[in-house]
Amino acid sequence: MTIEGISHIALIVRNLDRATRFFCEGLGAKEVYDNRGAKQHSVAPEKFFTLGDAWIAVLEGEPLPERSYRHLAFKTTSDALPALEQNLRKLGVEIKPPRPRVDGEGESLYFYDFDNHLFELHTGTLEQRLVCYAKSAGAR
């Protein structure tokens, strides 16, 4: 028995239409399913999106009552980051100030959606980060 990876990510949002704009216009996701007006197969009205290789299920309900650092990070490129940031700003998404970084670990853009979920767009890889952290630890 083995785990092959993450199947999907499910998020609760107050408004499916606003979440659709966030994912599709803000991040470039593709909407692949909408159960409104059809037989409901889940616990709530929902939509599915694909973003890269990720399957994101968005269900309508009461979102998180408060914000935290718990977040979901999507991989992107340094070239794509400015356009994605511009798309998100056009939607009125709150962009957070960057956190301190170790040189070489990649760039990040942190932002909240309209339902208190924190997201990150990150340009680095796990392997790059581990190398940078090891170099940083050795420099002490």
Contact 123, 108 (CB under 8 A): yes
What's the CA gap between 54 and 7, in Å, rounded?
Answer: 8
Beta-bridge mates of residue 11: 58
Active-site residue, from 4, 31, 46, 94: 46
Phi and psi angles of residue 27, each rounded to the nearest 5 degrees, phi first: -115, -10
| Closest C-alpha among 68, 66, 48 to residue 8 | 48
Cβ burial 45-81 (10 Å sphere, 16+ → b, else e): bbbbbeeeeeebbbbbeebbeeeeeeeeebebeeeeb
25 among known catalytic residues:
no
Which of the residues are catalytic? Answer: 46
